[in-house]
Structure 1
Amino acid sequence: MSAAPGSILWLLGHELRMAWYGTGLNKGGKRGRGRFGMAFIVTVGLLQHLVAFAMLRALEHSGMDEAFLAIPLTAILLVCATFMLSSALSSCVMALFERGDLDLLLSSPLPSRSVFAVRLLGIAAATATPYLFLAGPFANVALVLGHPGWLGLYVVICACAMLMACAGMLLTLALVHTLGARRTRVVAQVMAAIAGALVFLLSQAYNFTRHDGSTGPRLLAMLAGQHLFGPGSALWLPGHAILGAPMPLLAALVLAALAFALTVGRTHRFFVHGLQQAAGASRVRARPAGAVRFHFRGSLFDTIVVKEWRLIARDPHLITQVLLQLIYLVPLVLPILRDNSTSAALGAGLTLLCSSLTGSLTWIVISAEDAPDLLLSAPASRRTLQLAKLAAATMPALLIVALPLLWLIVHAPLTGLLFAFTVSAAVLSAGLIVLWTGRPAPRSDFKTRGKGNVLSRMLEMISSLCWGGLGWLLVYLAAGAASWVLFAAAALLAAGLGVLLLAWQFRRGPM
């Protein structure tokens, strides 16, 4: 039975269909793609049920009490809540700035409160769906094994998704009120990227501090002995709700319902006001008073480099994607500055991340060039244009790692120089591979750039692995490792140079 046109259920169905199309499993609405997507989901779901069955059976045999099980379940829920907030922030930005259908909905006879409520419900549903898909098999298998309380997992995930959707919407609207629509689009997406990587940074916090081998176990034992962190503590109520405890489960439902009601009741008018600001954010600013002044730099090379950096800085989508890679670089840099570490893993990690960052920036600067025909017709050398673009893409990664590498060279000269060599080689290789094998594409395809050019992505990945592995082996070789390490390092060096040669053989025409 289909809902009446214009009703809340009808609008909610439209939101869910849009979320389904956004997954890409039914791209273009083709029936064949839809069947393939459903078959893929069913197959993965069956495998997840098998894994859940094996894990829960092992948990039963271990004899763990549910009071203790609530502790890791609460920790897992908090981790998922962080990622939910990141997803909700991205969805709120898309709903307010990018979807482009709210003007039509708000100009219809539908009440603005209903439109806002359905949009918020859609954001919550899209936020909860991946976690329901991943965690649902555990609840289903637990029901079969005689633990019906685990069905509370569905309720807790939906309640948590609603809380994070409300928090994301309130935060987005607060940013619109404080910063304006133009700045909010950038700031909210940067905050979403930071929220998504926050769990990774927290997981590395223990490695940032000085400790010996017994510090961690002693700290855990001390916390377990405290009443505040004991199995019966109120801190673990979310975990008890997942296991089906009635009162925590009811509290989660009430809290989510109150958050939804207060968010819709108190902010739906400002939602409309924020939408009006977003619609006016794209208007062209008035021409400044006075004569137009043109500022040109001393050389064409400098002008192109600055122009590329400025274009990247103006695109919030690209900023968030690049920012994520920089955030993941932090846990690798801090141990070098703290302990003067000469670990081979750190050098390999820096090499891989810098190579990935350079590949992304080179794709943005060269493959996603908005006016390639204009550049080809310009009275300038094509070689100069390519070198300037390549410099604009490779310089940021080298500047980022310059300080930790310099620190390492001062305290461990040989290791620092080896790392500097592998990082520089990886960065230059990544830029040249994209320059030679990249295909023109719009910047909106940044996340899916690997699908349109499998060869380039494969060469990038192989090159990164070669230079990262070479840095790993060179450190051991400098420490007097076995002779086979020398042959392995030589093989990786040859492979890295061979990938460059292969990319040059498959090079394309003018950009």
Structure 2
Amino acid sequence: MSALLRQTRLILRNDLRLLWRELRTGKLKIATSATLLALALLVLHAISILLFTHLQQTPPLGLEAGLWAFFGFLMLGASMNQAIGLFFERADFDLLLSSPVSTRAILLARIAVMSTGAFIGASLLLLPLLNGVIIGFSPMYLFGYVTWISLSIIAACAGVWLTLALVRLLGTRRARVWIQILAAFLGASVYLTFQIQNYFPRADKIAFWSALRTTADWLGFSHLARSGRGEPSELLILASVTALIAFLTARQLAKTFLTGLQESGVKPSRAPRTGGKTYRFSQGLARATFFKDLRLIVRDPLLLSQTLPSLMYILPAFLAFRQFGGTVILAPVAVVIAVQFSTLLADVAATGEDCLDLIRMSPSPETRLRLAKMAAGMALPLAASLILCLVIAAFGRPWLALLAFITGAVTASGCAWLSVARISPTPRKDLLNRNRRRTSITRNILVGILLIGASGGISLVAHGTLWFIGILLLGATALGVIACFTFVHIEEIADEKPLPSWHYPNATPS
């Protein structure tokens, strides 16, 4: 075995071990319960095998091309997230480049790790489908595994190129933000693509799928579908393209990092401002707190990547109900957006791990600072709700738009107050991890009741049927919000319990 292969194997084994730990402890925790994962794979395999066994003909080439495109987008998003961590955030890259290990071995190992991560990310859905067509139709689909491996390598290389381009344009920190947003947007766009077409007329639906097939064929995914079927010429072309892309990617990475581009990871993404607006405490500490928390929310990649796509997921629900209520269905949607995201973002603004210490050390009244954090969490959701209400007003229902915005703002204020009244210091990376956050079941129940009452009441008023019940629900919701501000007071979070006296050898008994 050559020295290059030995060194590549050594680096790859270590990186794969780190990848496995990330899969076990990450957000998805896909390897935490082996029994549950095996059961899910077994059920999916059974469904896939039964489905393809009873089909009389093979799937159309366009459908297979669309599926390969779907999994390709999933792999690309996962690869971009991995690239920014492997090449710019992991602390061992400087040590590896300065070690006697070959640079080619390091870069080949990193590309292999990214390809493995992309391969594993699509395995839960792609593995049952592939095995189903192998058993149900033809053993020639075994070459789908070769196509799968090649597609994961191409997706990893594409993720590297896009990451390097974003880093050059934006800097490492800002590139990390936009990479996570782009990955989330790709996943949401695939979801929307398959959901929105369900609400088209039959003729438009046929044209929609025809356009998708044309696009997939233009992007080359039809060649992937043919190689997945085992056509020798397509397999040869795919292997050649994969090898060429991997070679060019490794060469570009070597050129990039050996010329010192990695130093951009410690450089500021933009030059500091020498002039312009200055911030003074004479403007008000509460105002400064509001704008500070608002900037942190806007710049936080975790929040942007997990909350912004949620707005896109509401669109299919709007299209589904539009045929029953028209544009007025935007009224309850505006209320839901205001309440749901205000509660989440106010919780994020208040529960940062250093938030409680800063509040206690501040000379400003504690209630004022908590209200400023609550307002920062409500600002963006209320802005999105206002846009929907303006659309309702433009379609001839201004009073409904005004009622919906007031209802959303009032209900959101009550729910946001529940979030800031009790602060549980939490690391910022774990703020959206429900398994690690110390949330109150009672608070979640109250938020759910207020959300149902507000959205249900505005729905009944918007449709005009049983409007008096809607008015009663809105009145009850308003009383619930008043009760939140009246009976839910600021609660001090106790510090960690002191150690017992035997931990202190010089302590004297009281």
Is this contact kept in 1: 2:4–2:102, CA < 8 A?
no
SS of residue paired to 1:453: coil
Report the CA distance shift for 1:314/1:328 in structure 2 as closer, same or farther (over 3 A).
same
Is this contact kept in 1: 2:290–2:376, CA < 8 A?
yes
Mapping of 1:309-388 within 5 angstroms?
309-328=294-313, 341-344=326-329, 346-388=330-372
Q: Please say if 1:175 is aligned against 2:166.
A: yes
Residue deviations 1:19-38, cap 9 Å, x none? 211123699xxxxx999632
Give the Cα–Cα distance (whole angstroms) in 1 for the partners of residues 25 and 128 of structure 2.
21
Residue deviations 1:272-297, cap 9 Å, x none? 446532443269989969xx976345
Q: Please say if 1:303 is aligned against 2:294.
A: no
Report the CA distance shift for 1:286/1:408 in structure 2 as closer, same or farther (over 3 A).
closer
Mapping of 1:68-467 within 5 angstroms?
68-145=59-136, 147-203=138-194, 213-217=201-205, 219=207, 236-273=222-259, 276-281=262-267, 295-296=280-281, 298-328=283-313, 341-344=326-329, 346-410=330-394, 411-455=396-440, 459-460=443-444, 463-464=447-448, 467=451
Give the Cα–Cα distance (whole angstroms) in 2 for the partners of residues 447 and 37 of structure 1.
21
SS of residue paired to 1:281: coil
Q: Please say if 1:7 is aligned against 2:7.
A: yes
1:45 to 25, 41, 45: 41
Q: 2:23 matched to which residue of 1?
A: 23
Q: What is the deviation of 1:361?
A: 1.6
Q: For residue 116 of structure 2, what is the amino acid of its counterpart? A: A
Q: For residue 295 of structure 1, what is the amino acid of its counterpart? A: R
Give the Cα–Cα distance (whole angstroms) in 1 for the partners of residues 108 and 261 of structure 2.
15
Is this contact kept in 2: 1:12–1:119, CA < 8 A?
yes
Q: 1:55 matched to which residue of 2?
A: 51
Q: For residue 486 of structure 1, what is the amino acid of its counterpart? A: I
Is this contact kept in 1: 2:337–2:385, CA < 8 A?
no
Give the Cα–Cα distance (whole angstroms) in 1 for the partners of residues 301 and 30 of structure 2.
32
Q: What is the deviation of 1:114?
A: 1.3
SS of residue paired to 2:100: coil
Q: 2:503 matched to which residue of 1?
A: none
Q: For residue 8 of structure 2, what is the amino acid of its counterpart? A: I
Is this contact kept in 2: 1:83–1:195, CA < 8 A?
yes
Give the Cα–Cα distance (whole angstroms) in 2 for the partners of residues 230 and 312 of structure 1.
37
Report the CA distance shift for 1:402/1:369 in structure 2 as closer, same or farther (over 3 A).
farther
Is this contact kept in 2: 1:150–1:242, CA < 8 A?
yes
Paired positions, count: 487
Q: For residue 369 of structure 2, what is the amino acid of its counterpart? A: L
Report the CA distance shift for 1:191/1:307 in structure 2 as closer, same or farther (over 3 A).
same
Give the Cα–Cα distance (whole angstroms) in 2 for the partners of residues 189 and 391 of structure 1.
26
Identity level (%): 23
Q: TM-score, normalised by structure 2?
A: 0.79
Q: What is the deviation of 1:174?
A: 2.1
SS of residue paired to 2:49: helix
Moved more, 386-395 or 321-330: 321-330
Moved more, 163-172 or 348-357: 348-357
Moved more, 359-368 or 493-502: 493-502
Residue deviations 1:387-443, cap 9 Å, x none? 111011111111122122023135213542443244324422441232235521011
Q: 1:30 matched to which residue of 2?
A: none
Give the Cα–Cα distance (whole angstroms) in 2 for the partners of residues 401 and 276 of structure 1.
42
Q: What is the deviation of 1:261?
A: 1.4
Residue deviations 1:201-236, cap 9 Å, x none? 5456769xxx98354156369879x9x7999x9863
Give the Cα–Cα distance (whole angstroms) in 2 for the partners of residues 249 and 367 of structure 1.
53
Q: For residue 352 of structure 2, what is the amino acid of its counterpart? A: A
Structure 1 residues not aligned, in runs of 5+: 28-32
Q: What is the deviation of 1:331?
A: 7.1
Give the Cα–Cα distance (whole angstroms) in 2 for the partners of residues 135 and 196 of structure 1.
16
Q: For residue 347 of structure 2, what is the amino acid of its counterpart? A: W
SS of residue paired to 2:378: helix
Q: What is the deviation of 1:333?
A: 8.8
CA RMSD of aligned residues (A): 4.5
Q: For residue 252 of structure 1, what is the amino acid of its counterpart? A: L
Residue deviations 1:161-217, cap 9 Å, x none? 21111111111112333444344333333333333333245456769xxx9835415
1:475 to 435, 447, 459: 459
Is this contact kept in 1: 2:108–2:250, CA < 8 A?
yes
Q: 2:502 matched to which residue of 1?
A: none
Give the Cα–Cα distance (whole angstroms) in 2 for the partners of residues 229 and 279 of structure 1.
37
Give the Cα–Cα distance (whole angstroms) in 1 for the partners of residues 156 and 397 of structure 2.
49
Is this contact kept in 1: 2:72–2:152, CA < 8 A?
yes
Q: 2:506 matched to which residue of 1?
A: none
Moved more, 264-273 or 83-92: 264-273
Q: What is the deviation of 1:448?
A: 1.4
Is this contact kept in 2: 1:467–1:493, CA < 8 A?
no
SS of residue paired to 2:492: coil
SS of residue paired to 1:7: helix
